[in-house]
Amino acid sequence: MVYSEESIQPRQTTGASLNVDDRDSAIIIIVGQDLDLRLLDMFLQAVGCVQRGIISRIVVDLNKTRRIFDSGVAMLMLINGRLSGRIRIINCNPDLKSRLTRGLSSAMFNPELACRK
């Protein structure tokens, strides 16, 4: 794989981290406490990997996330538009799922929202 995890790490202290799942050909972005625009650089670099065919999709893990700001919702809309739906959201608690479904038009963005019990 012609790709380094270090090249896609967040530049600011965000509590986010990144893993590569070679079996699933995915980049897993583990979001910290907040999903906001501070993660844009990391998301856009991951999008570039998908567009170049290095990986097939992005998985966004919201297990540690407590707040999603409007800028985070807008960023997910942007990413989904660029990837034609090759983004999946996992470990989304019910409050965050409600926030995402209120903030996103299903016509524009319809990720798989897997919720913790």
Which of the pair, 12 or 87, is modelled with greater confidence? 87
3-state secondary structure of 80: helix
Integer-rounded Cα Rg, in Å, for the chain is 13
Q: pLDDT tens-digit profile of 9-32?
A: 444 446 788 778 878 889 999 999
The domain limits of the chain are: 5-115
Structure tokens at 35: 């999903």
Query: Model pTM?
Result: 0.78
Helix (H, G, I), strand (E, B) or coil at 113: strand
Q: What pLDDT sits at residue 98?
A: 81
Residues 6+ apart with CB under 8 A from 44: 79
Please tell me the predicted confidence (pLDDT) of residue 115.
Answer: 54
36-82 per-position pLDDT tens digit: 999 998 998 899 999 999 999 999 999 999 999 989 988 988 888 88
pLDDT at position 88 over 70: yes
Residue type, 117: K
Q: What's the topology of domain 5-115?
A: Transcription Regulator spoIIAA (3.30.750)
Terminus-to-terminus CA distance in the chain, angstroms? 36
Residue with tokens 């897997």: 114
